[in-house]
Structure 1
């Protein structure tokens, strides 16, 4: 096991009716919040009214920023930062899924920065502070409720970058599975794929270890077991609860405490969705199994065999390569069973921008990915295979 430092300061309040703790949590930091949310879903489900009533009845002032996009835009971060400065906001409260929470992290940092917040996401500067952040999760997917990461899109420059700092960990996150009951089939599927991909990118590691692998496998098996149940019965509390905390654990540092992050899937998908504005997990569902097929060889077949048997319960018969390939096929089959795309043509992407996408995916060096380093030509071939 490699040396590591593990720290996660986020307080998680998990379960039914934990929302009632919101006023006391907010008052630890002040009495004026910027309420950040998406377009209409939290109003349709009644959560918006509950949050506003709780805050107002406890003399907490609210400034609102709505309309956060599924791939949050830098324009929203800029607007939110200015609202924080104008209204002397004490805490940024994100109510929604990962996109809303990601935007809130950028906003909280922009509130204490005099320049353009895109400077953070283009890696020109590091944040020297941020307003406190609280979250109320409504979508099990990104794990942003318990990590410091934030991904924001700049459509003008066709860039989608991830960034975070020690200051962008939420101070608290309220996770009530009932707040995910109204999530539709596609968004539930997106959350399943995003959670699994987060784990893949630590599970497939050159320097893996036994404990890390078993933690990763437990999370993946839980998501695979409960995901279809949540799709078939959206108000199945046990399924939604396991998906919710499974997605949180997938990217709160627990799965990667000693392993390296591979990075191919998220790095390449961020380029895809910056160019085409597709759902993040649609891109991950397409890239993931094609990446597995492409990198599988004799040097890593044992890892893929382990994945096939321990995660997908593939029968241990035949050669190692045959078992590994059946495991990868299980990924394709599972994604199709939950109605997620597995080809770029499924989301109306053709090969016109493939060369440019492959170039940008490898922009930080000659390759992308750590489990198996992939050149621009490798990335291009994976895109062609996924066409």
Structure 2
């Protein structure tokens, strides 16, 4: 196990009707806030009205900025920064899923900065200040409600880059599983793939003697695997929704990272797919991750055997460990396909004539991944594995 520091500054307020506490929690971080949200589904569900009522009751003034899209855009982040400065807003309230929260984090870190906020995403600068961010979560998937990550897409050049720094962890996250009842099945499934990918990025590590976090990763994966089919059959099953929502937070708040070094190559590979073709991140991960596994499993067959046996219940073939490992990958693909997700490029659908270009973009800053570092040729091979059966 590696040495580590772990901090969980985000206060979690979890349970039924907790969105009615939005105003009281927001008042602790700001008196004039940017109310940031997505396409308007929060209006249809009535959540918008409940949040507004709560803010007004707490004496919190707000300026609205909606319109966040999946794969949140830099242009809207820049508009949010402008609004915060002009209106002298002192916090950002994100009401939505990972895209809204990532956009809110980018706005919050950009407000005190005199340069271009994109500098933080390219690595040209490191943020040292932020205005506080609060969250009302509506989609369990990205885990952004308690993570140190924000991923933003720049329209010019179709680039999608991440900022990872503890500074941007939200001050609070309000999480009511009831708010996820109306999620379409495909969005629920994409969220599940995103959660599972966050866990698997951490699970496949070269660090030895990480038994506790191995078991935590496996338990969180099995919780998602068990409960997603339940909510697809019964969307208003509170208990199953609650399990998935909490799993999404635990998957990406870095608890599962303690003492180990994650990989993250699959995320880097997927970012090129969603940057160029604007596909749902979870759907892209459902295609990329099994392909990455097929390419890398021989690097540590026993870890893949452990994954197959402990997570998927595969009976271990002691005479042929590779067969056990491959069966675990097959069962992952079967699960993802079974909940309605693509597992091949053509199912996204994404054209396959730019695989070499995507590989070059993915490794533009150098090799990616730590489990088995990948250069351009390896990245291209994984993309090709994502095309064929």
Q: 2:255 is paired with a residue of what secondary structure?
A: coil
Aligned partners of 2:44, 2:206: CA distance in 1, in Å? Answer: 46
1:92 match? 92
Aligned partners of 1:58, 1:264: CA distance in 2, in Å? Answer: 44
Say which is worse superposed, 20-29 or 71-80, in terms of deviation.
Answer: 20-29
1:61 match? 61
1:45 match? 45
Q: 1:300 is paired with a residue of what secondary structure?
A: helix
For structure 2, list consecutive stretches of 5 or more residues without a partner in the other structure: none
Displacement of 1:142 after TM fit? 0.7
Aligned partners of 1:62, 1:2: CA distance in 2, in Å? Answer: 44
Tell me the number of residue pairs that the alignment of Structure 1 and Structure 2 aligns.
Answer: 385
1:188 match? 188
Aligned partners of 1:165, 1:204: CA distance in 2, in Å? Answer: 22
Say which is worse superposed, 92-101 or 10-19, in terms of deviation.
Answer: 10-19
Q: 2:327 is paired with a residue of what secondary structure?
A: helix
Contact 2:22 2:136 in 1 (8 A): no
Q: Does 1:162 align with 2:162?
A: yes
Aligned partners of 1:63, 1:49: CA distance in 2, in Å? Answer: 15
Say which is worse superposed, 331-340 or 288-297, in terms of deviation.
Answer: 288-297
Displacement of 1:164 after TM fit? 3.3
1:264 match? 265
1:336 match? 337
2:355 match? 354
Displacement of 1:165 after TM fit? 3.0
Displacement of 1:114 after TM fit? 2.0
Displacement of 1:167 after TM fit? 2.5
Displacement of 1:351 after TM fit? 2.1
1:124 match? 124
What pairs with 1:1-387 in structure 2 (closer than 5 Å)?
A: 1-208=1-208, 209-297=210-298, 299-317=299-317, 319-365=320-366, 367-387=367-387
Structure 1 vs Structure 2 CA RMSD: 1.2
Q: 2:93 is paired with a residue of what secondary structure?
A: strand
Aligned partners of 1:385, 1:234: CA distance in 2, in Å? Answer: 34
Task: Tell me the TM-score normalized by structure 1.
Answer: 0.97
Say which is worse superposed, 225-234 or 96-105, in terms of deviation.
Answer: 225-234
Displacement of 1:89 after TM fit? 0.9
Task: Tell me the TM-score normalized by structure 2.
Answer: 0.97
Aligned partners of 2:194, 2:29: CA distance in 1, in Å? Answer: 32
1:168-223, CA deviations, whole angstroms, 9 ceiling, x for partnerless residues?
11110001100111111011001100000001111000004111100100110001
Displacement of 1:276 after TM fit? 1.1
